[in-house]
Structure 1
């Protein structure tokens, strides 16, 4: 029997699935289809998150804006993420996992539809509010669904590695379009096309019971589930960890190109590709280190990775050589890559089972708001003192992660 077959009847079941009438093979096939579509959704999210940093050198002259104004992209994105984080449980209670993901994917497409024709900067900026909400809803539900699948620690690793594939492709595609044409904004036409395909894929794989609550009394349970989730100490500790982690992850990729141009005096048309080197190390780390970390102990190994990541960041800061910077930032990405899926898995071990889905979704969405908050703060600081602040900011974020990681309880927290 396939690994997913055992969970096929309880992983995001709709009422129609619970009568046990469907053959196990069909149920397993349904889970596989949903795994594929949710993985595609997070890949599109990766294409969304990793492109802005590479496009900054083209956005500035195109719109005639400062680094501070560029950083407002991340602030608007953060507002969208935050709204999606708190709306997630209530939206899912009304339209189910599949409906929430389709809604999120559709809202994400609204953002791309506002971006691809290079509108006035105010309109372009507002588009990131929609992508923030859209990605937040999808990220929460993708993680919540994946945690219900057998061997979830491995599937979570795969899910977030696929996100990494999107982050590798984003700088490659965005930098190629921006460097070889005068229309950098066409990158968002590519993401719009993929976004529409994402809506179709999710609607098809979750078509059975689409826009229906996962359980009959979901609306009544939503309020109590949210209250139980936000009152759990371990959930907030993991939220803090994820908030800093995703902030470090996206800040590093988002401002890397500008750092290499401004501080290391690199050629924008060449150093833009180094962002893909960073995201490549990040993705490989999620794949290679997933089982190793699980077998040797998540708590111990994540602590070790943090120490090594700090060493890499110090070397990145002190070695004024673009090749050396490319190597150290790649290793940095490799080491921190597993933190997010490993952290979510550890959370399921220290909270009651009935909170798993709500807490995973809450942490995935609210914690990931760091992907917008810290790039904005970095940009705001860099606009005053320069992009050379990037390495110390990243080191501070890693140290902060270590504090939250040490605070994580080792037994179930009620």
Structure 2
């Protein structure tokens, strides 16, 4: 789930001058008492290159975590003797972890710094994975998915916002999302190989535990003293800086500003429509990844040890799309491009539903991933042009948080309905989500050109 959690206190706790979008600076257009931001690059400060690399490694681990459950669902059902509706609870618990993190990650990262926040996130992931590796009762597994959801939400919020606010952010966010997709390819491959050779499904999470331990050592070190470097590059406005030095910012004034910022956020049309769009997008993505194997086994009578690799094809398509089609989207226009790929994904979903061929369905799944891959980077690019600069971090965070809930609601609904009528419900649910994507995208206002 590539989503950014949000806190209602975000506009206060994350200084918009530090994280304002690099895609649209306007020199000389700031009101009196403000400054024009100096955008960081991957080369300046020097440690940013290592921060980007660390962010990609974290994203890779997250991708493996998110893509593996689809290949492990059959083993979970068999080992715990549970039905589709029960096993789908893991998706809800994981998303609840994302939502829970939204209420504290902003404040926490501001108070203790991004490095220490990343240490906490990786520690939570290690705790969750350690519990899963022991193959505990299903209730503990579900609780562990909640814990890992919190940990993933924390590192995603820090790393994706960091990459999105560097110069040349389209390429860097593409690399970050591409690393997630590569992890998505390897997750089902490894999980399927393990269970097909008789290993316990939980042994897959030994790999995730090792990655979390590696990131616990690498990521915090690269982000150490990040705040000090940012402040040296981006000084605060004089009036605000003096107020903070004198300690004259009162708590009740801060609360009023936070509430006003939240009301402004919820009244912003691109933010609301963007949240609905990403909700539908991530819902379809996670639903396909989580349930396509079960559909192929139940309705196409596929061998679980072989069709388990179909999910890897889906994530390979997503990764390839993000590395290749994103550039094509920029040439023909992101708005038009997203319409075309959404319609294409809907048509492919109909083919998967009605064409009774495992090879054909497998190819169609991979191509649907190819079309869906560049949607998220394109959407972020459009949102950054539509949303006022000072609202971008809080707005994108809200959009990402709502999106993560979509990544829970859709697969959970699929599991609950599949328990009663069969896993073919995956397709009408995804088709409905694609229609929702198209409508919300159409209703977005047109972006005005900004001076670069």
Question: Larger radius of gyration, structure 1 or 2?
Answer: 2
- 1:154 is aligned to 2:171: yes
Q: Distance in 1 between matches of 2:107 and 2:274?
A: 21
Assess, with a 3 A threshold, how the Cα gap between structure 1 residues 287 and 112 changes in structure 2: closer, same or farther: same
1:120-175 Cα deviation digits (max 9, x unpaired): 11111110111111112222222211111111122212211111001100001111
CA deviation after TM superposition for structure 1 residue 105, in Å: 2.6
2:10 aligns to what? none
CA deviation after TM superposition for structure 1 residue 369, in Å: 2.5
Q: The residue matched to 1:368 in structure 2 has which SS?
A: helix
Q: The residue matched to 1:29 in structure 2 has which SS?
A: coil
Equivalent position to 1:371, from 394, 403, 407: 407
Assess, with a 3 A threshold, how the Cα gap between structure 1 residues 354 and 30 changes in structure 2: closer, same or farther: same
Equivalent position to 2:280, from 222, 228, 244: 244
Determine if contact 2:385/2:447 at 8 Å carries over to the other structure. yes
**Structure 1 vs Structure 2 CA RMSD:** 2.8
CA deviation after TM superposition for structure 1 residue 363, in Å: 2.2
CA deviation after TM superposition for structure 1 residue 89, in Å: 2.8
1:274 aligns to what? 310
1:304 aligns to what? 340
Q: Distance in 2 between matches of 1:129 and 1:334?
A: 29
Q: Distance in 2 between matches of 1:377 and 1:317?
A: 18
- 1:223 is aligned to 2:261: no
Q: Distance in 2 between matches of 1:199 and 1:223?
A: 32
Unaligned runs of 5+ in 2: 1-16, 21-39
Assess, with a 3 A threshold, how the Cα gap between structure 1 residues 389 and 278 changes in structure 2: closer, same or farther: same
Q: Distance in 1 between matches of 2:41 and 2:286?
A: 40
- 1:142 is aligned to 2:159: yes
Determine if contact 2:114/2:158 at 8 Å carries over to the other structure. yes
Q: Distance in 1 between matches of 2:213 and 2:406?
A: 26
Assess, with a 3 A threshold, how the Cα gap between structure 1 residues 204 and 227 changes in structure 2: closer, same or farther: farther
1:186 aligns to what? 203
Equivalent position to 2:320, from 284, 305, 315: 284
> Which range moved further: 366-375 or 330-339?
366-375
Which TM-score applies when normalising by structure 2?
A: 0.81
Determine if contact 1:44/1:191 at 8 Å carries over to the other structure. yes
2:8 aligns to what? none
- 1:326 is aligned to 2:343: no
Matches within 5 A, 1:170-181: 170-181=187-198
Q: Distance in 1 between matches of 2:206 and 2:42?
A: 38
Determine if contact 1:140/1:360 at 8 Å carries over to the other structure. no
Q: Distance in 1 between matches of 2:77 and 2:147?
A: 22
Assess, with a 3 A threshold, how the Cα gap between structure 1 residues 300 and 117 changes in structure 2: closer, same or farther: same
Q: The residue matched to 1:369 in structure 2 has which SS?
A: helix
Determine if contact 1:100/1:211 at 8 Å carries over to the other structure. no
1:4 aligns to what? none
CA deviation after TM superposition for structure 1 residue 294, in Å: 1.2
CA deviation after TM superposition for structure 1 residue 87, in Å: 3.1
Equivalent position to 1:402, from 438, 442, 446: 438
CA deviation after TM superposition for structure 1 residue 234, in Å: 1.5
Q: Distance in 2 between matches of 1:393 and 1:347?
A: 26
Q: How many aligned residue pairs are there?
A: 396
Q: The residue matched to 1:311 in structure 2 has which SS?
A: helix
Unaligned runs of 5+ in 1: 1-8, 13-22
